[in-house]
Amino acid sequence: MEGPAPAMKRAGKTDGTALAALCMAGAQVSVNVGAALGKTLFASVGPEGVAALRTSIAAILLMAIARPWRAMPSRAQMGWLAVYGLILGSMNLLIYAAFARIPIGVAVAIEICGPLGVVLATSRSLRDFLWLGLAIWGLLLLAPWPGGAMRLDPAGIGFALAAALTWALYILVGKRAAQVKGTTAVALGMTVACCVTLPFGLSAAGGHLLDPSVLGLGIGVALLSSALPYVLEMKALGHLSARVFGVLTSAAPAVAALVGFIILGERLTPAQWLAIALMIAASAGGSLAGRRA
């Protein structure tokens, strides 16, 4: 007969997993509410201005927390952090440019092809071509075919695909950057990222970036899109396997589409919802089938 200790241990593990799943759900909602809030600022400062505000404010917060000057990385590590930050800044500019032209849910569904590609690139199973096929099917449904209902902006799709490429590079380069322990890597990387985005933001919006109303919303975007999701995901990672974490992350396009509808009134066609479902299935399947590494 089983004693109380193993049962209590299993119950504690179950509670921890449930809490981690709630943290992941909270992170998904937070980052997409931040994206929707940022989109409301496009009329004032443009997508470039929002990207500059998000990365600059996040860099200030992270530098204050990490204080990397106490133990600076080596020259080689700084090189990788510079590349990491360059990719991070580019990814922010590209995805906000996509948000300005197509619905948030559609942009996130396309962007998720980046990490899916990284996962499938490590696979050695022919069965995994099924997930690739689902992703391609979803992209074909979103393609701006002539005469299609609610034809999407081709430039928006292009920016989302470019963001997917930078996300894949972010994952690969991030493995090198992660050799710098603690929050130092992300603090220095975000500082480089704001050096990438700030010139574009100043060119597009100039002094409007410092308007109190714009700055206040910019702080909200930075907290919701960067700071809070980072804390929640770090909490979740302590209780979830990498594969389960990947599956939960795969729900991002659906959360983005729902947030876009509720906050921005973005309505999708049935074909676009089907495309999002296919992308989610492809991403979740790839996360489960990919190699543990």
Q: Residue 150 — pLDDT band, cuts 50, 70, 90? A: low
The string of pLDDT tens digits covering residues 207-232 is 889 899 899 999 999 999 887 887 78
**For residue 243, what pLDDT band results from cuts at 50, 70 and 90?**
low
**Domain boundary assignment for the chain:** 26-290
pLDDT tens by residue, 66-87: 787 777 777 777 888 889 899 9
DSSP H helical segments within 178-237, as ranges?
184-205, 212-222, 228-237
Residue 251 tokens read as 């729900």
Q: CA of 215: how far to CAs of 196, 210, 285, in Å?
A: 19, 6, 40
Q: Is the pLDDT of residue 9 over 70?
A: no
Which of 90, 89, 106, 99 lies closest to 39 in space, CA to CA?
Answer: 99
- From the CA atom positions of the chain, what is the Rg in Å? 20
CB 26 within 8 A of CB 244: no
Per-residue CA distances from 195 to 44, 55, 200 (Å): 21, 9, 10
The residue with greater pLDDT, 21 or 160, is 160
- The C-alpha angle with vertex 167 and arms to 163 and 170, in degrees rounded to 5, equals 135
Torsion of CA 88, 89, 91, 95, to 10 degrees: 140
pLDDT value of residue 8: 42
How many CA atoms within 13 Å lie on the side-chain side of 230? 13
169-205 pLDDT, tens digit each:
988 887 777 666 667 778 888 899 999 999 999 998 9
What is the token pair recorded at 32?
């997409």
